[in-house]
């Protein structure tokens, strides 16, 4: 794709395969996800820019690196692995990942946040968008549901299906997160992978200023998770984290895995980078054009 095509405000039809691939190829997927996030948000005129842009490389590695086993043509296949976006406000990044995987038409992304569309501001299971496993958005709740899914796969179905869930780092201030984490370890859910988007920002400030949750790694370890910290913008390092989870599952360690992904809110767009003010607002048209031009140049 040329820089000119990449910078367009229009959605294209390119989709990407899900297989083990080079970090550079995953980086390119992440950047296309970022561009789609901008394209969606500028049309919607509302929504969250910061978290979605900052976690795009996590989604690229998870959905396109061969770690999640799914069939884009049948996202209800009972043998699929599942992903739950507990930080439901970050919906645009999940919608962009699913569109780029070919789970639904890419131009449908243009319907974000419109009445009665499948792309609501927070994921809604009852909207039937392929790949949405549960409604989420009330912080902490999706994570508990995901642990329940992993428990049922493991203890009831006795299957090797994997469950992944992403939470924000501000979301760790919810008490229910820690109840669910305790259960995941107690029930030896080595089929469960927790990804924490550690951008150090939340809705109206930096994490330690609003309510300190550090040290996150020591907390996850003490709650019984095998914990690894990675650079959330480097697919090679993210792969190291997901490989560790797969190894834990294969070796039946009986421990769930936590991947702490260090990210920057708004990563890829210089005027949004590391600014909590971009937690919950969309770009204007001029800002979107500037962002797309910058993202088109991103290596």
Ligand X SMILES: Cc1ncc(C[n+]2csc(CCOP(=O)(O)OP(=O)(O)O)c2C)c(N)n1
User: Using CB under 6 A as the criterion, which residues of the chain lie in contact with ligand X when the complex forms?
Assistant: 50-51, 87, 89-90, 137-139, 168-171, 197, 199, 201-203, 265, 279
- Cβ neighbours of residue 144 under 8 Å, at least 6 residues apart? 176, 177, 179, 180
* The 3-state secondary structure of 14-69, one letter per residue: CCCCCCCCCHHHHHHHHHHHHHHHHHHHHHHCCCCCHHHHHCHHHHHHHHHCCCCC
By C-beta, is 24 or 179 nearer to ligand X? 179
Minimal distance, residue 141 CB to ligand X, in Å: 8
Minimal distance, residue 250 CB to ligand X, in Å: 31
By C-beta, is 86 or 227 nearer to ligand X? 86
Give the tokens for residue 166.
Answer: 């992403």
Contact 222, 196 (CB under 8 A): no
Minimal distance, residue 202 CB to ligand X, in Å: 3
Minimal distance, residue 5 CB to ligand X, in Å: 29
Minimal distance, residue 47 CB to ligand X, in Å: 11
Query: Residue 260's Cα: distance from chain center in Å?
Result: 12
Residue entry with tokens 């200023």: 209
By Cβ distance, which residue is nearest to ligand X?
168
By C-beta, is 171 or 190 nearer to ligand X? 171
E strands, the chain, are 82-85, 163-168, 192-198, 201-202, 205-206, 226-231, 257-262
Minimal distance, residue 249 CB to ligand X, in Å: 26
Minimal distance, residue 139 CB to ligand X, in Å: 4
By C-beta, is 28 or 38 nearer to ligand X? 38
Residue 117 phi, psi dihedral angles, 5° rounding: -100, 170
Round to whole Å and give the CA distance between 184 and 77.
Answer: 24
By C-beta, is 168 or 235 nearer to ligand X? 168
By C-beta, is 140 or 256 nearer to ligand X? 140
Round to whole Å and give the CA distance between 62 and 65.
Answer: 6
Handedness of CA 127, 160, 198, 6 (dihedral sign): negative
Minimal distance, residue 173 CB to ligand X, in Å: 8
Residue entry with tokens 């405000």: 9
By C-beta, is 134 or 249 nearer to ligand X? 134
By C-beta, is 50 or 241 nearer to ligand X? 50
Q: Give the burial class of 157: count Cβ atoms within 10 A of its Cβ; 0-12 exposed, 13-18 middle, 19 or more buried.
A: exposed
How many other CB atoms sit within 10 Å of the CB of residue 4? Answer: 9
């Amino acid at each position: 794709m040329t820089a000119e095509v990449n910078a367009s405000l229009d959605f294209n039809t390119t989709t990407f395969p899900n297989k083990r691939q080079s970090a550079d190829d995953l980086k390119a997927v992440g950047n296309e996800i970022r561009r789609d996030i901008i394209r969606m948000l500028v049309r919607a005129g509302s929504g969250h820019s910061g978290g979605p842009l900052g976690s795009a490389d996590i989604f690229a590695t998870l959905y396109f690196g061969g770690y999640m086993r799914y069939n884009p043509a049948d996202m209800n296949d009972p043998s699929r692995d599942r992903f739950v976006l507990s930080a439901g406000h970050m919906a645009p990044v999940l919608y962009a990942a699913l569109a780029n995987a070919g789970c639904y038409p890419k131009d449908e992304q243009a319907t974000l946040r419109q009445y009665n569309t499948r792309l609501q501001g927070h994921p809604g299971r009852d909207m039937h968008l392929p790949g949405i496993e549960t409604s989420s958005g009330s912080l902490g709740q999706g994570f508990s549901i995901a642990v329940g899914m992993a428990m049922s796969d493991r203890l009831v179905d006795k299957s090797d299906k994997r469950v992944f869930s992403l939470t924000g780092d501000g979301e760790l201030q919810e008490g229910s997160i820690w109840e669910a984490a305790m259960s995941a370890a107690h029930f030896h859910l080595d089929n469960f992978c927790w990804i924490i988007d550690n951008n150090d920002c939340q809705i109206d400030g930096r994490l330690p200023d609003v309510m300190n949750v550090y040290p996150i790694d020591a907390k996850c370890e003490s709650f019984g998770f095998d914990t690894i910290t990675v650079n959330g913008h480097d697919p090679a390092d993210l792969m190291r984290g997901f490989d560790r989870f797969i190894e834990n599952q294969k070796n039946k360690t009986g421990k769930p895995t936590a991947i702490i992904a260090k990210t920057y809110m708004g990563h890829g767009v210089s005027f949004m980078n590391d600014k909590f003010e971009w937690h919950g607002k969309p770009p204007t048209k001029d800002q979107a054009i500037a962002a797309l031009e910058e993202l088109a140049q991103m290596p």
